A and B are shown apart, each in its own frame.
Chain A
Amino acid sequence: MTRTERHVDVLIVGAGPAGLAAGAELADAGAGHVEILEREQEAGGIPRHCHHGGFGERRTGGRPRGPYARGGTDGPAYARRSVAAAVRAGAVLRTGVTVTGWAGPRTLDTTGPTGLGRITATAVLLATGARERPRTARLIPGTRPAGVYTTGELQQAVHLYGQRIGTRAVVVGDEPVARSAVATLRAAGVQVAALVTGRPDTPFRVRRSGLPMLTGAVVTALHGRTRLSGVELRHDDGRTTTLRCDTVVLTGDFVPDNELARRGGLTLDPGTRGPAYDAAFRTSRPGVFAAGNLLHAVERAHVAALEGRAVAVPVLHRLAGTDLPAGAGQPLLVDAPLRWIAPNVTGSGGERPPGGRFVLRTDRRLPRPLLLVSQGGRELHRQRLLLPAVPDRPFHLAAEWLDRVDPLGPAVRVSAL
């Protein structure tokens, strides 16, 4: 097995918003040889196929243009801009190259059309993103017909390949991405029969009226032999019904693409299932950093990009030999019904997460929760949120208490009252 071995200063895995922003920032700062590897033929990550997304920072006063952000550009334009910025700054971007595994603590094996590679880096940044759980991972019983999509596959089928989808679709999901699925289906000329959500109330507004919302309903089976013929639902009140359709789009229910992180033996956070990391984006392995939706499935693209820029500082420290040892922090754990917190290690260098706050998720709706941070019975912080915390939506916790963490004490816990 012949592999071409090389050394680079920074190796970034994944050219989505996070990886590209990090590459641009680091190359700009003179980090040396900064290389971004992307397994797809086109760089850009998920936004490549989000024709209906509103990407980039929120513009105040802008006309609502997409389901995610007011203002901003569409996904493909955002992707092109991110790619151009990274390349302009001098990062080496290689597409069609897959990182297939680890050969050392900071050495990665690659496969591409020019052959097999083995790249050792002073700093590695994992930015491999997140995916939606498909039907199988959601354990939806029934037959195995064609016509079953995730939003990711649907968007690519419509926008990248112009494929025929179907005539009548049901969209399932509680997250904003469901609106992207509706928009994509409509753009493809598919009638949307209903948007189905397990929530008791409407989780978000859908642009353009005339879309039936079925709340408090879960999918209990798929029907149809070769092609989907219907989706069976169980409603809150115990009724079951079957919606006739030839297409179903299962949206949201994101899971980090953590394979490389796990195969590399990085510690994972039990809540996010991404690598455990601190406010400086350090994983449990010295010199291995992570950013973007790999860390928290799923935030909007501009959050991923923001993290990409923010990770540049600790990476530069690493290159200069002025970084602090990794793994020195305390695990940050959440109590139910909180699902996860990110970052989820307290860190050691006095860094603050981007924006000076942590991001969290809850499994249950909490009206104006009181968030309590404690370490071994000692209260570090309490904070009342002014708005309800809702499943699948980010809410935040201030980070100023980080200085009060005892570096030798037990794990830090966050609970909601």
Chain B
Amino acid sequence: MTVTVTTAGLLPTGDGPYDVTVVGAGVVGAAIARELAGYRLRTALVEAADDIGEGTSKANTAILHTGFDAVPGSLEARLVREGHGLLAAYAARTGIPLERVGALLVAWDDEQRAVLPELLAKAVRNGYHAARLIGAAELRAREPHLGPGALGALEVPDESIICPWTTPLAFATQAVRAGVHLHLGCRVRGVGSDADGHTLSTSRGPLRTRYLINAAGLYADEFDRFLGHEEFTVTPRRGQLIVFDKLARGLVDHILLPVPTAAGKGVLVAPTVFGNVLLGPTSEDLDDRTATGSTAEGIRLLREKGRRIVPALLDEEVTAVYAGLRAATGQEDYRIRHHPGRRYVTVGGIRSTGLTASMAIAGHVTGLLAELGLDLGERRELPELTLPNIGEAFPRPYLRADLIARDPAYGTLVCHCEQVTLGEIRDAFSTTLPPRSVDGLRRRTRARGGRCQGFYCGAAVRALFEKERP
């Protein structure tokens, strides 16, 4: 299969219209493209940024949710539950870092403790049966660094941590290798529709497609308006997060959740698959869809909450601070809707669970396409994909004598804080979707993402990027 990834110039038009075009290469759009790649369709994945996963998908809390606390009966509840199973299995097959650390939803006062049985009952209503209540003594034994005053917890053993960057990369890579065309640096500015389909006007010229999927994340409402739909408005809800040094990893064994309130799921403390500890997110309703900066107030609030949950965490060095925007739409559910007679599916409002639900959303959306009249044909298995391991749960290349014996570049460390080797950085540039920025390289290899943030390796990593860039 020839790989088609374009980044500049006019879009290819020679082979007639695409059967399906997915707009937005976040984790949701990439999952949909991968699902469609399993059918004999001409599919395009169109993305405004110059890399996949550059939107909300690159900046989240990276938890594979069970959906135990979802709104029972909602579409989100079902797709999160299904997505959890699908993505856990897929991660194991492809080498996406995932650790089933489990969550402890901690009660800090009597009122909160009284809510735990309700949450347990809700979990059961959501089809999740492995949760259980644990008392203060067991809680302290399992999380000895927890702050004083924790009264008990709801244990949710299947809540897991996952790599947010490798997941969309795996989806997009598999899709592209199976023949999906990926057009990067291609912003859709308008859509003209007729009975046979749609003509997208893009920053790289027109694109003709029979069916169209809007997976534009924070811009899904604006995209809907290109087609005359005015069903919802996205209000970005910012979540700021602090990543603590790897030396803090020993302080936390589980995802430590607060009791949710009307204001949201609250601030959690969780390990990451890279061996750090995450504190966040905040929850701030904004107007600006580009406001992915952090604020003094946000950082102060997180530190105050974190000090309560795991006091010793605050003494550790901070490795990163970042923020992501949830695509909230004022409805406690996804806004996934097909438009009969219009050959168009909106995949909107994927606020805070899209990483988890991505594969189930993809299956659901494909079903909607069939309902709109698209003949999917026979489903075929995609060739397996194996990604290099960048998580801590399995030996990284720098610890593998076999790899180093074959190629000394795997024994040459470039990024010391994250132990990233020359071999891994070099390899990243010969993949199906090579990095197009130093940040893209970091998301693929972890290079320059550690505690020194480039004090030691920044210049060396940049030099390698300049030399190898596509």
Contacts and interface: CB of A to CB of B under 8 A. Distances in A.
Interface of A: 1-3, 39-40, 96, 98, 100, 111-116, 131-137, 139, 141-144, 146, 149-150, 152-153, 156-157, 160-161, 163, 220-221, 225, 255, 259, 262-263
A160 to B, nearest CB: 6
> Which of B294, B395, B416, B466 neighbours the largest number of chain A CB atoms within 10 Å of its CB?
B294
A41 to B, nearest CB: 8
B453 interface: yes
Contacts of B434: none
Contacts of A111: 398-399, 404, 411, 413, 419
Contacts of A255: 317
Given A134-B452, A143-B293, A161 B317 contact: no
26 contacts: A1-B395, A39-B413, A40-B456, A96-B412, A98-B413, A98-B419, A100-B398, A100-B399, A111-B411, A111-B413, A113-B412, A115-B405, A116-B411, A131-B455, A137-B317, A137-B451, A141-B294, A144-B292, A144-B293, A144-B322, A150-B452, A150-B453, A150-B454, A163-B459, A163-B462, A163-B463
A116 B399 contact: yes
A137 B320 CA distance: 7
Nearest to B463: A161
Interface in B443-470: 451-456, 458-460, 462-463, 466
A114 B399 contact: no
B456 to A, nearest CB: 7
A160 B453 contact: no
Contacts of A1: 395, 399-401
Given A1-B401, A100-B398, A141-B295, A152 B455 contact: yes
Contact of B416 (A39, A144, A149): A39
B1 interface: no
Given A96-B412, A113-B412, A115-B411, A136 B455 contact: no
Contacts of B419: 98, 100, 111
A139 B451 CA distance: 13
A39 B320 CA distance: 24
Given A141-B295, A153-B459, A163-B463, A136 B321 contact: yes
A70 to B, nearest CB: 27
Closest 3 CB pairs of A and B: A134-B453, A113-B408, A156-B459
A137 B318 contact: yes
B455 A134 contact: yes
Contacts of B319: 136-137
A141 B399 contact: no
Interface of B: 243, 246-247, 290, 292-296, 298-299, 317-322, 395, 398-401, 404-405, 408-409, 411-413, 416, 419, 438, 451-456, 458-460, 462-463, 466
A98 B416 contact: yes
Given A134-B452, A150-B454, A112 B293 contact: no
Given A111-B399, A111-B413, A116 B296 contact: no
Contacts of A259: 246-247
A39 B422 CA distance: 13
Contact of A153 (B295, B321, B451, B458): B458
B405 A153 contact: no
A131 B462 contact: no
Given A98-B413, A132-B455, A136-B321, A142 B293 contact: yes
A134 B455 CA distance: 7
Given A146-B438, A153-B455, 20 more contacts: A1-B399, A1-B400, A1-B401, A2-B401, A39-B416, A98-B416, A111-B398, A115-B411, A131-B455, A134-B452, A136-B319, A136-B320, A137-B318, A137-B319, A149-B458, A152-B455, A160-B459, A161-B463, A221-B293, A255-B317
Contacts of B452: 131, 134, 150, 152
Contacts of A132: 455
A305 B399 CA distance: 32
A164 to B, nearest CB: 10
A92 to B, nearest CB: 18
A116 B413 CA distance: 12
A98 B409 CA distance: 13
A46 to B, nearest CB: 10
A248 B259 CA distance: 41
A3 B401 contact: yes
Contact of B247 (A131, A146, A163, A262): A262
A136 B316 CA distance: 12
A113 B290 CA distance: 43
A355 to B, nearest CB: 29
> Which of A132, A153, A221 neighbours the largest number of chain B CB atoms within 10 Å of its CB?
A153
A138 to B, nearest CB: 8
Contacts of B247: 259, 262-263
A98 B247 CA distance: 18
Contacts of A149: 454, 458
A161 B293 CA distance: 30
Contact of A136 (B398, B400, B453): B453
Nearest to A152: B455
Contacts of A153: 454-456, 458-459
Nearest to B320: A136
Contacts of B293: 141-144, 221
A156 B460 contact: yes
Nearest to A111: B398
Given A1-B399, A134-B454, A141 B296 contact: yes
> Which of A133, A141, A152, A263 neighbours the largest number of chain B CB atoms within 10 Å of its CB?
A141
A221 B293 CA distance: 9
Contacts of B298: 141
A96 B416 CA distance: 11
A116 B322 CA distance: 35
Contacts of B400: 1
Contacts of B451: 137
B290 to A, nearest CB: 8
Contact of A113 (B243, B409, B453): B409
A178 B404 CA distance: 40
A161 B411 contact: no
A157 B462 contact: yes
B456 A152 contact: yes
Contacts of B294: 141-142
Contact of B458 (A39, A100, A157): A157
> Which of B246, B398, B455 neighbours the largest number of chain A CB atoms within 10 Å of its CB?
B455
A113 B411 contact: yes
Nearest to B411: A113
A132 B322 CA distance: 20
A80 B70 CA distance: 63
Contacts of B416: 39, 98
A97 B460 CA distance: 17
Contacts of A139: 299, 318, 321
A220 B296 contact: yes
Contacts of B438: 146
A149 to B, nearest CB: 8
A141 B321 contact: yes
Given A156-B460, A160-B459, A262-B247, A114 B318 contact: no
A131 B320 CA distance: 16
Contacts of B409: 113
A39 B420 CA distance: 12
A247 to B, nearest CB: 13
A370 B294 CA distance: 43
B321 to A, nearest CB: 5
Nearest to B423: A113
Nearest to A223: B293
Contacts of A113: 404, 408-409, 411-412
